[in-house]
Amino acid sequence: MGRFLATLLASAALCASLSLQAHAELDVVSLKSAIERSVESDYPKLDALYKDIHAHPEIAFQEEKTAAKLAAEMRALGFDVTEHVGETGLVAIYKNGDGPTIMVRTELDALPMEEKTGLPYASHDKTIWQGRETFVAHSCGHDIHMASWMGTAKTLVGLKDQWHGTLMFIAQPAEEILSGAKAMLADGLFTRFPKPNFGFALHDGPFAYGDVLYRVGIGSSNADSLHIKFRGRGGHGAMPQATIDPVMMAARFVVDVQSVVSREKDPTEFGVVSIGAIHGGTAENIIPDDVMLFGTIRTFKPEVRAKMLAGIERTAKTVATMSNAPEPEIKITEGAKAVINDPGVVGTAEKVLKAAFGDKFRPSPPSTPSEDYSEFINAGVPSMFFNIGVYEPERVAAAREGPQLPANHSPLFAPVPKPTIETGVEAMTLAVLSVFDQHARGK
């Protein structure tokens, strides 16, 4: 790392002196504006890449063309690129002398849904998903992440006299089905390639562009999926005494399971169970043999998760007992674990990002969706996962009073590309540089 950032970081540490602190902020601001100028000149290419990927999204484990586009761009920057790591994932390595290996991750996948933004670059593409034709859309904003990832790679290569070490830029498939991180790890991500010393990832969200939100500790939820089959005995709707009614069991369960949340779980701790689908029966006068329920369970802490899972299982079994039915089939599948940010990495990046973004860089509460970036953290990569906003600040301010702005997974989710991608590149570049610098100074 060059003296530039080293000086500002050393200065930032000496907050006792107001004049030194002022000097530190000045230096970060200079570095940020140098990065801004670089991003500004690269932006037309990033914009073209973003709009191309947005218009032609690909769903989990189908991201062949998306990955190929990124691979070509990364090779042109001088990265050593390996494709098809974890099916459609890619790994891009850039060596620049002795130093730590820092991983930067983007996702590749879109969602099986129709985009309704009406944007000139909106997706009209369709694919086959679970045997059915569906529209595909980048309604989670993973295209913003890809453009930011690419811009960060380009900026860091441009600043290569400022840092020493290895960049490991990975593009992960199938985040939306919480499977891609596992697939890359199973395919030797940290054995065929260097195991990174530190990692970073970002996600966009429906708040003001220019804002960068972060957390120390828990950042996203544990996700478990719930499948229950209530087994009854079918028969005529006019003669229920001859049946065991699984529709009744399903109805009771959907209501009673919420008492696990409201009566058993500590009300100050986060935990939800939502039943998203009930499948059963064919006609008004036939009691079916069985009914299937599908739900999701989200928690932050392992002890809350254990209590919720036990309560949900007990409620399902008791509901069946009340109907004198056989035991239900209960399948709880672990999805993603909570993302837990490393205090050391956050502490290092925090000083620089705070100086660069001021009040626009601020802590936020944990978010309730889940994220399989936690797989990399749990495989031993201390990390920082942060969020960037996508909408005009005035619209966000107005939405505090009126209707909410469309969030991720809404068919109307429509980030403003330029300021969002620029903030993503600036924040990610500074975060990576801060960790290279910290390491170079032997801390």
Compute the C-alpha angle 386/79/372, nearest 5°.
35
Stretch that binds Zn ion, among 76-84, 135-143, 283-291, 336-344 (CB under 5 A): 135-143
Stretch that binds Zn ion, among 140-148, 210-218, 275-283, 336-344 (CB under 5 A): 140-148
- What is the closest distance, in whole angstroms, from the C-beta atom of residue 314 to Zn ion in the complex? 31
The 3-state DSSP composition of the chain as helix, strand, coil percent (nearest 5) reads 40, 25, 35
C-alpha dihedral sign at 69, 181, 372, 380: negative
Stretch that binds Zn ion, among 15-23, 127-135, 136-144, 188-196 (CB under 5 A): 136-144
Q: Which is nearer to Zn ion, 90 or 223 (CB)?
A: 223
Q: Which is nearer to Zn ion, 69 or 138 (CB)?
A: 138
- What is the closest distance, in whole angstroms, from the C-beta atom of residue 408 to Zn ion in the complex? 5
Q: How many CA atoms lie within 13 A of 214 on its CB side?
A: 30
- What is the closest distance, in whole angstroms, from the C-beta atom of residue 54 to Zn ion in the complex? 14
Tokens 């209501």 belong to 255
The C-alpha atoms of residue 122 and residue 114 are separated, in whole angstroms, by 10
- What is the closest distance, in whole angstroms, from the C-beta atom of residue 143 to Zn ion in the complex? 11
Q: Which is nearer to Zn ion, 27 or 204 (CB)?
A: 204
Task: Please tell me what DSSP assigns to residue 87.
Answer: T
Give whole-number Cα distances, 188 to 71, 136, 381, in Å: 19, 29, 15
Contacts of 305 (CB under 8 A, 6+ apart): 222, 224, 271, 297, 299
Stretch that binds Zn ion, among 138-146, 158-166, 210-218, 285-293 (CB under 5 A): 138-146
Q: Count residues near Zn ion (CB under 5 A).
A: 1
Taking the alpha carbons at both ends of the chain, their separation in whole angstroms is 13
Task: Please tell me what DSSP assigns to residue 178.
Answer: T
The C-alpha atoms of residue 165 and residue 73 are separated, in whole angstroms, by 21
- What is the closest distance, in whole angstroms, from the C-beta atom of residue 423 to Zn ion in the complex? 17
> Is residue 140 near Zn ion by the rule CB under 5 A?
yes
Query: Which residue's Cβ has the minimum distance to Zn ion?
Result: 140
Stretch that binds Zn ion, among 87-95, 122-130, 137-145, 358-366 (CB under 5 A): 137-145
Q: Which is nearer to Zn ion, 35 or 59 (CB)?
A: 59
Give whole-number Cα distances, 166 to 52, 322, 344, 405, in Å: 29, 61, 19, 39
Q: Which is nearer to Zn ion, 169 or 413 (CB)?
A: 413
Q: Which is nearer to Zn ion, 140 or 340 (CB)?
A: 140
> Is residue 432 near Zn ion by the rule CB under 5 A?
no
Site string for Zn ion, 84-123 (x = CB under 5 A): ----------------------------------------
Residues that bind Zn ion (CB under 5 A): 140
